[in-house]
Amino acid sequence: MTTVQWSNVFVTSKRKEIVLEALRYCAVNKGLNIYAYCVMNTHLHFLVSTEEPYILKDTIRDFKKFVAKKMIDQLLRENLLESKELLEIYRFEAMRSAKHKDYKFWKAGNHAIEVYSEKFAWIKINYIHNNPVEAGYVSFPYDWKYSSASNYYDRQVLLEEVVVLGPMIR
Q: Supply the pLDDT for residue 110.
A: 78
For 109: left if phi > 0, alpha if psi spans -120 to 50, otherwise beta; the answer is left
* Residue 49, pLDDT above cutoff 60: yes
- Residue 50 domain-assigned? yes
- Residue 167 domain-assigned? no
Q: Supply the pLDDT for residue 167.
A: 62
- Residue 161 domain-assigned? no
Residues 105-119, mean pLDDT to the nearest whole number? 86
- Residue 158 domain-assigned? no
Calculate the average pLDDT of the chain.
93
Domain count, the chain: 1
- Residue 94 domain-assigned? yes
Provide the 3-class DSSP secondary structure of residue 59: helix
- Provide the whole-model pTM: 0.91
AA identity, residue 127: Y
- Residue 157 domain-assigned? no
CATH number, domain containing residue 115: 3.30.70.1290
Over residues 62-104, the pLDDT tens digits come to 999 999 999 999 999 998 999 999 999 999 999 998 888 899 9
Provide the 3-class DSSP secondary structure of residue 150: helix
Domain interval for residue 144: 4-152
* Residue 133, pLDDT above cutoff 90: yes
Over residues 74-84, the pLDDT tens digits come to 999 998 999 99
Angle at which helices 81-95 and 56-78 pack, to 10 degrees?
A: 130
- Greater pLDDT, 113 or 7: 7
Tell me the C-alpha distance between 93 and 108, whole Å: 11
